[in-house]
Amino acid sequence: MFKIYTDNGSDIPEDYAAEHGIETINLATIIDGVVYNQGVELSKEEFYKRLAEGAKPSTSQVNPDQAKKFFEERIDQADEFLFIGISTGLSGTVQSVLAGAKEVMEKHPGKRIEVVDSLTGSLGEMLLVTKAVDMRDAGKSFDETVAYVRENAIHACLAITVDNLMDLWRGGRVSKTSAVIGTVAAIKPFITVNDEGKLDAGGKIRGRKKSLDHIVDYMEEHMGSCRDMNDTIMVAHGNCPEDAEYLKNLIEERLGFKKFMVNSIGPMIGTHTGPTICLAGYFGETRS
């Protein structure tokens, strides 16, 4: 049986990962010069506590040596390995993993490591990982699974909002001027990931509840012919579980889906979005 790996940009739930043998290569979170989640652990709870206390974290991508070491340590576990990584439009991690995997395969002839750019992150990346797990567990071949993930990465969609524009400014996603003006006007940004795997923060909604409602509007508009691909709808939040519950219930009520995976966002994504992020991940016909 082939192995499936991802990075912590996927926000894969720890219990799901443990159940299905999914391991992650971790991008680092750095606070006050201390590098976390690469030997020194930082829980989600502690991360959001540190944010509330005024911490200013940053992140660092995986490097080729780290990726090489990751695969070398696991090379005897299988002959075939599928790695699904955060969009190259958001991080250089996939390129680093490709470089590390190439060296490992040269050293170990007969071993195959396929690296897939998810063209997304967080719940979109998680969608592709869970689809790959379902296919593997249903007896699909390595090649069938890799092909499916590559072909359908473009259909893994995200619909995102945050309540506090200042969090996006601190995370480097908007200018301070835009953040201040938007905060005064009670503007809540609506964010998607475009076909190139980059963030598109063009939407502006007035009011938190309306921004959450708009996520469901957007899903309904863009799901199209891919609706039947959605066995499970992904919902996540930074540190606002009530908003995630509201979003989940609204999706169930309006779109009729019954199966959900609800999770909280980890430090890697949370560094750039803050605690008020709320989002849905689903398969859609188009991203825009």
Strands 233-237 and 260-264, sheet pairing: parallel
- 93 inside domain: yes
Same domain assignment for residues 147 and 159:
no
What is the model's pLDDT at position 185?
Answer: 41
The residue out of 153, 168, 194 marking a domain boundary is 153
pLDDT of residue 28 exceeding 80, the answer is: yes
What is the number of domains present in the chain?
Answer: 2
Shared domain for 140 and 35, answered yes or no, is yes
Q: Tokens standing for 22? A: 């999914």
- Where is the domain boundary, 153, 176, 204? 153
pLDDT digits (tens, 9 = 90+) for 265-280: 999 999 988 899 999 9
The mean of the pLDDT values for the chain is: 91
Domain check: are 112 and 171 in the same one? no
Q: What is the model's pLDDT at position 165?
A: 61
Residue 111, domain CATH: 3.40.50.10170
Domain co-membership, 18 together with 139: yes
142 plus 169 within the same structural domain? no
Tell me which of 153, 184, 200 is where a domain ends.
153
Same domain, 126 and 163: no
Beta carbons of 29 and 57 less than 8 angstroms apart: yes
146 in a domain, yes or no? yes
One domain, residues 253 and 193: yes
pLDDT reading at 186 higher than 70: no
Does 232 share its domain with 124?
Answer: no
- The reply to whether 288 falls in a domain is no
Task: Say if residue 98 is in the same domain as residue 217.
Answer: no
The residue segments making up the domain with residue 78 are 3-153
Whether 180 has a pLDDT exceeding 50, the answer reads no
Residue 203 pLDDT > 80, yes or no?
A: no
CATH of the domain at 279: 3.30.1180.10
| Same domain flag for 11 and 140 | yes
Any domain includes 273: yes
